[in-house]
Structure 1
Amino acid sequence: MNASTHKPIKNWVLGLTGGIGCGKSTVSAMFEKLAITVIDADIIARQVVKPHSHGLAAISEHFGAQVLNPNGSLNRAQLREIIFADTAQKTWLNNLLHPLIREKTLTDLHSANSAYVVLVAPLLFENGLEQYCDRTLVIDVPIAVQLERTIARDNTSEQQARSIIAAQMSREDKLNRADDVIDNNRPLAQVATVIQQLHAQYLALPAKK
């Protein structure tokens, strides 16, 4: 459902989520190939801290030059180390970024024109973004697969990968809250077939008035 404090979003929204390393980007790209608008909260999170943005200025003022690269961009690895070692700093950062991300997300949702729109957010449930969604879809893989993919993709340690997974909502809780689930621990051709089937179901749902 949509929050009553904002004007209604004109087309219905599919919230797509899953833990780190579950393959959300791969699945969302398949929806894009079906001419569905995809709004990715991770991309928006990068946009609100780009050079010369209000978000980056506030971060550099709070944490100092150590979180900036020589070219003035955000040093994400350094910031990640700080906030995972200090809960208070993580809370400060979340309090800064979440409203900025939410505002940009709502702007993009209102401007989408496809039959429905996919909102991709790793913390969809944790950050209350499901309130803007009409259905939710969880991309699911076993935790061992999450670890393997995250370590390989991000060149991070197993300890840090485990810390990131532990900081997210549990796999079980996500599955319990989902309207739909895709098992992404199988060949991509099989995943694509499931998405085609879901897409047909979504197109058949009544349009929002």
Structure 2
Amino acid sequence: MLKVGLTGGIGAGKSEVSRLLAGYGAIVVDADRIAREVVEPGTPGLAAVVAAFGEEVLTPEGTLDRPKLGSVVFADQDKLRTLNAIVHPLVGARSAELEAAAGPDAIVVHDVPLLTENGLAPLYDLVVVVDAAPATQLARLTALRSMAEEEARARMAAQATREQRLAVATLVIDNDGPLEALEPQVRKVWEELTARAAGGTTA
């Protein structure tokens, strides 16, 4: 099994890279998706979040109000750390279960937004970073996700810097350009991953 960490700043295009790798045959373990699952209604995770942040982070239907919680934690580093301390162990345990089920010959790509921030790079055989300039990230968040510029900047500031992410990268995918420039780069990375998984060496 080849264990790959995939990361990138918000708006860098990591989700699209993850989708392409899955199409090539990677087993993708999506930390964001798992993070949503572990705080669904009735879970110990949601109970812990409510205990920490109060009933006001719930919708009238009893589900987690993500925009409300986001506005709270991304403006306060202590509260963000509190949330991470609840969610990250649950995500880690579920990710390990999915990885174990993948099989010995699989290329398992862990899609982890906060890989750099949480010092997780040593857990993987290699780390792929999807890179984009901060100005590109900001433009995508405001134009494509209709996010207010102030909120977009706050979310970017809560993450690692571009330099910190690149420092842990084994392979870098440059996604500063148009979407059509992305696929050939991802295909090349997939070729590199399959070569490594087979025990080959590539440049």
The answer to whether TM tops 0.5 is: yes
* Residue aligning to 2:80: 90
Alpha-carbon offset, residue 172 of structure 1: 1.2
Match of 1:191 in 2: 182
C-alpha separation between the residues in 1 aligned to 2:129 and 2:77? 27
Instruction: Classify 1:206/1:90 alpha carbon distance in 2 versus 1 (closer, same or farther; 3 Å).
Output: closer
Give ranges in structure 1 of 5+ residues lacking alignment: 1-10
Letter of the 1:16 counterpart: L
State the alpha-carbon separation in 2 of the partners of residues 132 and 173 from structure 1: 17
Aligned length: 198
Query: Which residue is equivalent to 2:100?
Result: 110
8 Å contact from structure 1 (residues 115, 203) kept in 2: no
Match of 2:25 in 1: 35
Give CA deviations for 1:58-91 in whole Å, capped at 9, x if unaligned.
Answer: 1122322211111111001111122233333222
Measured after TM superposition, the shift of residue 156 of structure 1 is 2.2
Q: CA deviation at 1:161?
A: 0.9
Secondary structure (helix, strand or coil) at the match of 1:13 reads: strand
Corresponding residue of 2:146: 155
Q: Structure 1 residue 175: deviation in Å?
A: 1.2
Secondary structure, in 3 states, of the residue corresponding to 1:17?
strand
Is 1:200 matched with 2:191?
A: yes
Partner of 1:100: 90
Q: Which residue of 2 aligns with 1:5?
A: none
TM-score (norm 1): 0.88
Structure 2 CA distance for partners of 1:69 and 1:153, relative to 1, 3 Å: farther
Q: 1:88 and 1:174 mapped to 2: Cα distance? A: 22
Q: Which SS does the other structure have where 1:174 is aligned?
A: helix
| CA contact 2:116–2:164 (8 Å) conserved in 1 | no
Match of 1:107, SS?
helix
- Of all paired residues, the percent bearing the same amino acid is 40
| Unmatched runs of 5 consecutive residues or more in structure 2 | none
Contact 2:29 2:95 in 1 (8 A): yes
User: 1:167, CA displacement in angstroms?
Assistant: 1.4
- Is the CA contact (8 Å cut-off) linking 1:12 and 1:207 kept in structure 2? no
Change (3 A) 1:206 1:62: closer
